[in-house]
Amino acid sequence: MIKKIHHQRKNHLLSGILIAALLTACSEPVEKDPTVKQPPKVPGEVFLSANSPKKAYVKTANLSLSQHPLLEPLAGKITYNEKVTSRINSPVAGRVISNPIALGTQVQAGSTLLELDSPDVAAAEADYAKGLADLTLAQKALNRQQELFAGKAVSQKDLEQAQDDFNDARSEKQRAQDRLKNLHINSQQTDGHFSLRSPVPGIVVERNVNPGLEVRPDLDAPLYVVSDIKKLTLLMEVFEVNIGKIKIGQKLSVVVPAYPNEVFPATVEYISQVLDEKTRTIQVRCDLPNKEGRLLPGMYATITINSDPKDQAIVIPLTAVFTEGDSDFVFISLEKDHYKQIPVEIGLRLKNEAVVKSGLQANEQLVTEGALMLRTEEEVESDSKKPE
């Protein structure tokens, strides 16, 4: 009887353990069904799972056609526009007796820059005064000879001599007057002073004169440089192999270190007809507007030569390109989390971007960042398909 009761208790205990095990099994989460369908493995294509952390490193951009660079960026230098610039020297010797006009002063054509006490001007004024007096005397002598000749008191020869003397005096007076006129000196002036004037409007950008300085016409440096700095010139040297891509009237994009995030427009104005045999380059002059006056002569510039507006191509960042062997590749996005590797032909390759000759179309979604990561993911998927 005791054995029977013990056996029954043992059965009840085993039943309880079995029931508890079943309940515990039911309470545990169900493992994922290994038969859930995965995206098909296609060579050259990559699928990222919806919760993949790698998605954060992939960035895409919509492709479009645009103007594209024709050459690698060129170095250039900004200079004065010679059409609106004047380097001014004194045409006469003398001593500065006024306070020369200051740097940065806005002047008009004809504005006085400085005044000189000039022996040359004094001599020119004296020559004019003498010429005027000699002409007056010669005129009187001629009138007298004409009266005497009319009364048959002098010969024809005497009259002709008086006429010659008058003509010579008139020529000398005209010569002296023209000299004053060339110096912009009034014929009534007699003080020997000379006013140096600006022939063009603009700003005084250089000054090499001080009060009391003795000046001469043959000084090496100009006394003043006056220029309209709202109109500048950009100089660049182009290698002969690239000169065929430069045309008069072509638009350029200019960047200077002072304003690295701003682009200034320029236009090709003149292409030199002479090749520098040492550097094998040709100088190109470009018109560079400077309405706000922020650009300065002497600044260095980086110049981008773009294609004609009608000549458009796809330009992509170099971060999107990876190379295998002799070929270049990129990834495009086919749909969400689905990417495809395609070969491209690169034309001009620049520092941060490249011009695509073939392989891409407008409106495709290009992977601009994360291409190498996708390539690595593709290799992992390919290795996982190999038999063990």
Rounded to an integer, what distance in angstroms lies between the CA atom of residue 301 and that of residue 259?
Answer: 10
Judged against a pLDDT cut of 80, whether residue 372 lies above it is answered with yes
Could you report the per-residue pLDDT of 256-265, keeping only the tens digit for each? 999 999 999 9
Could you report the per-residue pLDDT of 135-188, keeping only the tens digit for each? 999 999 999 989 888 888 888 888 889 999 999 999 999 999 999 999 888 888
Q: pLDDT confidence of 382, banded at 50, 70, 90? A: low
Partners of 324 in the beta sheet?
A: 327
Do 101 and 329 touch, CB atoms closer than 8 A? no
Residues 302-325: what's their mean pLDDT? 90
Partners of 77 in the beta sheet?
A: 235, 300
Please give the backbone phi and psi of residue 250, each rounded to the nearest 5 degrees, phi first: -70, 140
Percent of the chain whose pLDDT exceeds 70? 87
Judged against a pLDDT cut of 90, whether residue 303 lies above it is answered with yes
pTM exceeds cut of 0.75: no
- For the record, the structure tokens of 381 come out as 């998927």
- What pLDDT does residue 232 have? 97
Task: Output the CATH code of domain 46-69+311-385.
Answer: 2.40.420.20
Rounded to an integer, what distance in angstroms lies between the CA atom of residue 98 and that of residue 313?
Answer: 63
Name which of 90, 85, 84 is nearest 196 in CA terms: 90
Could you report the per-residue pLDDT of 44-96, keeping only the tens digit for each? 788 888 788 888 888 999 999 998 889 999 999 999 999 999 999 999 999 99
Higher pLDDT, 200 or 46: 200
47-56, 239-248, 368-377: which has the highest mean pLDDT? Answer: 239-248
Judged against a pLDDT cut of 80, whether residue 28 lies above it is answered with no
Query: 74-83+228-305, what's its fold?
Result: Elongation Factor Tu (Ef-tu); domain 3 (2.40.30)
Q: How many CB atoms lie under 10 A from the CB of residue 179?
A: 18
Q: pLDDT confidence of 272, banded at 50, 70, 90? A: very high
SS (H, E, C) the chain: CHHHHHHHHHHHHHHHHHHHHHHHHHHCCCCCCCCCCCCCCCCCEEECCCCCHHHHHCEEEECCCEECECCCCEEEEEEECHHHEEEECCCCCEEECCCCCCCCCEECCCCEEEEEECHHHHHHHHHHHHHHHHHHHHHHHHHHHHHHHHCCCCCHHHHHHHHHHHHHHHHHHHHHHHHHHHCCCCCCCCCCEEEEECCCCEEEEEECCCCCCEECCCCCCCCEEEECCCEEEEEEEEEHHHHHHCCCCCEEEEEECCEEEEEEEEEEEEECCCCECCCCEEEEEEEEECCCCCCCCCCEEEEEEECCCCCEEEEEEHHHCEEECCEEEEEEEEECCEEEEEEEEEEEECCCEEEEEECCCCCCEEEEECHHHHHHHHHHHHHHHCCC
Q: Is the CA virtual torsion 92, 95, 99, 104 positive or negative?
A: positive
- What pLDDT does residue 41 have? 66
Judged against a pLDDT cut of 80, whether residue 25 lies above it is answered with no
Judged against a pLDDT cut of 60, whether residue 24 lies above it is answered with no
Percent of the chain whose pLDDT exceeds 90? 64
- What pLDDT does residue 385 have? 53
- For the record, the structure tokens of 363 come out as 């409106």
Task: Output the CATH code of domain 119-191.
Answer: 1.10.287.470
Q: pLDDT confidence of 336, banded at 50, 70, 90? A: confident
Partners of 226 in the beta sheet?
A: 86, 204
Average pLDDT, the chain: 86
Higher pLDDT, 170 or 337: 170
Judged against a pLDDT cut of 90, whether residue 243 lies above it is answered with yes
Judged against a pLDDT cut of 60, whether residue 108 lies above it is answered with yes
Q: How many CB atoms lie under 10 A from the CB of residue 253?
A: 16
- What pLDDT does residue 90 have? 94
- For the record, the structure tokens of 129 come out as 């005064």
Q: pLDDT confidence of 194, banded at 50, 70, 90? A: very high
- What pLDDT does residue 33 have? 46
- What pLDDT does residue 45 have? 85
Could you report the per-residue pLDDT of 127-138, keeping only the tens digit for each? 999 999 999 999
User: In the chain, what are the domain boundaries?
Assistant: 46-69+311-385, 74-83+228-305, 119-191
Least confident range from 23-32, 79-88, 218-227: namely 23-32
Name which of 17, 60, 21, 52 is nearest 360 in CA terms: 60
Q: In what order do the strands lie in the sheet with 94-96?
A: 193-197, 112-117, 94-96, 214-215
